[in-house]
Chain A
Amino acid sequence: MANGHCFHCAAAIPRNTDITLESADGKISFCCDGCLGAYLIITGSGLEEYYRRREIKQAGAPPKNSPSFSSAALMRHAYELDGKSAIDINIGGIHCASCVWLNENIISRLPGVEDVRVNYATNRARVLFDAEIINPAQIFSRISELGYVPRPYDRKSAVESAEKEKKELLLRFGTAIFLGMQLMAYSFALYAGYFQGISDEIKFYLQLFSLLVTTPVVFYSGAPFLHGAWRSLINKTPDMDILIATGALSSYIYSIYATIKGGEVYYETAAMIVTLILVGRILENSAKRRAASGVEQLLELAENGRAVRIRDGVREEVETAELKEGDCIVISAGERFPVDGMIAEGCTDVDESLATGEPLPAHKETGDCVISGSMNLTGTIKLSCTRPREKSFVARIARLIEEAQNRRAPIQKIADRTAAYFVPLVLFLGVITFIWHMSHGAFFDSALMTALAVIVIACPCALGLATPTAILAASGGAAKNGIIFKGGDILERLAAINLVVLDKTGTITEGKPSVISVHPADRIDSSRLVSITASIESASRHPLAMAVCKYAESKNIRYDMAEQATTVPGGGVAGIIGKEQVAAGSASYLKSLGITGEIPEIASSPGSMAVYVSYMGKYAGAFLFRDKLRHDASILTGYFESLGIKTVLLSGDRQENAESASAAAGISEAIGGYSPSDKVSYIEDMQKKGFKVLMIGDGINDAPALAAADTGCAVAGGTDIAVETSDMLIAGHDLEKITLAHRMAKKTMKIIRQNLCWAFLYNMTGIPLAMFGALTPVYAAAAMSLSSICVVGNSLRLLVSPRSGTKRFNTATLHDQGWENG
């Protein structure tokens, strides 16, 4: 009988577990003592509320066997703040606001803790404590007893400067807004004065005040653009910044001139350009800040902090950073390997999904190599280090990601390309106007004013707004559909891709094996075989064992707990059911148990695995497993192939497995046996050949490739590191959404081009008027607001969700809904 789910972590309760408690809510059960302990701590602190308010119902992080924390090591991360000790802690496993609430309350109830603040966005806690009453190790143990993973966090200079930059941007923006509001009051008075008449004196005062409030907006708030424009001027690469600077500065200078000489002013244009562009910058920045933290997280994986080293027969605890080649360390089950090494003694199963993406644990014996960051699952082993930590696999992956991120060529944004042609043209027209008016007998100052008017009217907000508003609206529309773009340029990159690279395991496949067929021996019927196998496998947490139990449950086949089930790493599992011996595992394992009866070779297709079962000392049958293809994988490839975009499967798995998976999903090319760095070099080779690559992956082994590709797309449920190094994220592992994202990107580019055309159209009618000195402020103001409204309105069309998520995709509906290529 199924036992239901753990009250604390909501994971399925293993069969042989019976941990229950009588509580006010009735009898509640737990999956392990760790969860029971966490429950007792939470209720003991009077925080039962947590269970009612938390949002997640699926399995959370079950408490690990609590690691011990060394107070001396942690004290090094603490620092002084307002005369008290403070420590920053990264808390892993926070899913919702209730987790934040729980952590804050539990920590703050420890004696000696003065204040706790957990930042929901960064999952980082700052704890103020009295070092004489409590030490950091006690705080860390308390967090880890609840099932969260605390790690000391050192404020790094890169993060510091990013946060400082964010604050500065916010200050600039806030300043622009406050002064802009003042400015609008004066401007409206001036507008009214233009139509109704105004005394020259008051007009002059109002213009003077306008100048007073506009100056900080242009030179303080607009400083980033002015700097950028100056840089691009020196480098002779005209970009968006030049356009903004020209627009803001020319209207500012023109207005000063008009204030002195008498005339209409355009201070509000200068202020508005700066303010609106700042909004775009702020939104873009907040999305990008998270990218750097992926590498940080990766390095923390291998950072166990301390390890037990054996030297000359003496055990001593050392920092993992101090480990050298040839050192011998002890790794017990459930720990990650801090360094690359070779097993010196013992055998165990190792979860290497980090490096290979493969879900099945690999069996390792004395003499086998293991890589850092992978998880030791079953046995305690002695490990001989082959590489120190800074050269280990995890460190190399981190370096690969960083290199790939740095190397990626910045795309020339469509707005920058426009500016490259437009700015010189406008300046040229301004000069022509000035010369023409001078040579036709105009005074110097009136010729200059006409020329500046040309530049002002040519650079209205619409041009600056064309791209940011479209991208904002598209990002909003995409987020509603579960697609997260980490920055505006991603849409431009995604729209241009012409090669799709996919990862296999976990991306286009389920990432865990399931039973595809059962082959009973002659003397036993199928359901009986499933029942006895599930009975003994229920004791194991091996993915294949869990697949058998799941299969039995899906077929409604009853099974009981086996007695004395024992697991042999790398072999299988054996136990007793109703006094009869049952064993399941590899063919060689059964032979080693002395099973009589011939074990037939189950014809297996590439990519599938077999488990053999014996009953009462005789061969009883076999199960065939395969990592099943996701149902929407072929929709994804079908969509791209129909657009003439080639799809390639890159896998760390064997070639034949990669080929069978790609054939089933309709992928045109498959390459197996690729390491994480092979994937990067493949992508870079293709980029050199002129391809724009979209990489779709989920694992840490895909992270460098995701960073290297023009667009890296992670699927939710993948590792955090993959998610953070990628450019976009698909929620709910719905591969079909990638097709939607691609269509949205195309549509966005189409809208941006339309916006630019609109803006130009208005300019093109305004410029000739200005050139002949016939431009009155009314026309100018009307043209500016009208073009801005057109552009914003057009962009807002992207907010409309293209279709409900349930409808099947096919090419016909695609065209009907106008989501075809722009």
Chain B
Amino acid sequence: MDETLLLLIVLSLFLGCGCWLLFVWGVKKGEFNDIERPKHRMLDDD
């Protein structure tokens, strides 16, 4: 019982860390520099 709980907690922590790393990568790459333009870009045909 206790082991299962611990395992799940650690697993969730790893999952969370994965998302966090994705976010860090996004910030470093400049994905958040311009948050206005992409929503219009989506509507462009090409």
Write the residues of chain A forming the contact surface with B, with a CB cutoff of 8 angstroms: 97, 100-101, 105, 117-122, 163, 167, 170-171, 174-175, 178-179, 181-182, 185-186, 201-202, 205-206, 209, 213
Contact = CB atoms under 8 A, between A and B. Distances in A.
A97 B42 CA distance: 12
A202 B6 CA distance: 9
27 contacts: A97-B36, A97-B40, A101-B40, A117-B34, A119-B33, A119-B34, A119-B37, A120-B36, A120-B40, A121-B37, A167-B28, A167-B32, A170-B27, A170-B32, A174-B27, A175-B20, A179-B16, A179-B20, A181-B16, A182-B13, A201-B2, A205-B5, A205-B6, A206-B9, A209-B9, A209-B13, A213-B13
B2 A174 contact: no
Nearest to B34: A119
Nearest to B20: A178
Given A101-B40, A174-B20, A182-B13, A121 B34 contact: yes
B26 to A, nearest CB: 9
Interface in B16-40: 16, 19-20, 23-24, 27-28, 32-37, 40
Contacts of B12: 182, 185
A360 to B, nearest CB: 39
Given A119-B37, A178-B16, 19 more contacts: A97-B37, A101-B41, A101-B44, A117-B34, A118-B37, A121-B34, A121-B36, A121-B37, A163-B33, A167-B27, A170-B27, A174-B20, A174-B23, A175-B24, A178-B20, A182-B13, A185-B12, A202-B2, A209-B13
A86 to B, nearest CB: 14
Closest 8 CB pairs of A and B: A97-B40, A120-B37, A120-B36, A178-B20, A119-B34, A174-B23, A182-B16, A170-B27
A557 to B, nearest CB: 45
B36 A178 contact: no
Nearest to B19: A178
Given A178-B16, A202-B2, A171 B34 contact: no
B21 to A, nearest CB: 10
Nearest to A101: B44
A623 to B, nearest CB: 47
B39 to A, nearest CB: 9
A174 B31 CA distance: 14
B36 A202 contact: no
Contact of B5 (A119, A202, A213): A202
Contacts of A186: 9
B31 to A, nearest CB: 10
A175 B23 CA distance: 9
Contacts of B24: 171, 174-175
Nearest to B40: A97
A201 B5 CA distance: 12
Nearest to B9: A209
Contacts of B34: 117, 119-122
Contacts of A181: 16
Contacts of A182: 12-13, 16
A158 to B, nearest CB: 17
B23 A178 contact: yes
Contacts of A209: 9, 13
A383 B46 CA distance: 50
Contacts of B32: 167, 170
A105 B33 CA distance: 20
B11 to A, nearest CB: 12
A205 B16 CA distance: 18
Nearest to A167: B27
A723 to B, nearest CB: 18
Contacts of A122: 34
Contacts of B27: 167, 170-171, 174
Nearest to A174: B23
B20 A100 contact: no
B20 to A, nearest CB: 4
Contacts of B36: 97, 120-121
Contacts of B6: 205
A279 B33 CA distance: 17
B42 to A, nearest CB: 11
Contacts of B40: 97, 100-101, 120
A182 B17 CA distance: 10
Contacts of A120: 34, 36-37, 40
Nearest to A163: B33
A206 B12 CA distance: 13
A202 B24 CA distance: 32
Contacts of A105: 46
Contacts of A185: 12
A186 B13 CA distance: 11
A213 B16 CA distance: 11
A595 B34 CA distance: 63
A118 B33 CA distance: 11
A101 B19 CA distance: 32
A690 B27 CA distance: 45
Nearest to A175: B20
Contacts of A118: 37
A334 B44 CA distance: 36
Contacts of B2: 201-202, 205
A271 to B, nearest CB: 14
Contacts of A202: 2, 5
A171 B38 CA distance: 21
A97 B41 CA distance: 9
B2 to A, nearest CB: 7
A790 B33 CA distance: 35
Contacts of A178: 16, 19-20, 23
Contacts of A179: 16, 20
A171 to B, nearest CB: 5
Nearest to B15: A182
B18 to A, nearest CB: 10
A181 B20 CA distance: 11
A268 to B, nearest CB: 16
Residue of A121, A178, A185 ringed by the most chain B CB atoms within 10 A: A178
A120 B41 CA distance: 11
Nearest to B44: A101
Nearest to B10: A209
A210 to B, nearest CB: 11
B1 to A, nearest CB: 9
A209 B14 CA distance: 13
A179 B17 CA distance: 9
A190 to B, nearest CB: 13
A523 to B, nearest CB: 62
Contacts of A206: 9
Contacts of A170: 27, 32
Given A178-B23, A202-B2, A205-B6, A100 B37 contact: yes
Contacts of A205: 2, 5-6, 9
Nearest to A201: B2
A123 to B, nearest CB: 11
A105 B45 CA distance: 11
Nearest to A53: B43
Contacts of B9: 186, 205-206, 209
Among B6, B19, B37, B46, which residue has the most Cβ atoms of chain A within 10 A? B37
Contacts of A100: 37, 40
Contacts of B5: 202, 205
A536 to B, nearest CB: 46
A167 B41 CA distance: 23
A118 B41 CA distance: 11
A170 B28 CA distance: 10
A55 B24 CA distance: 36
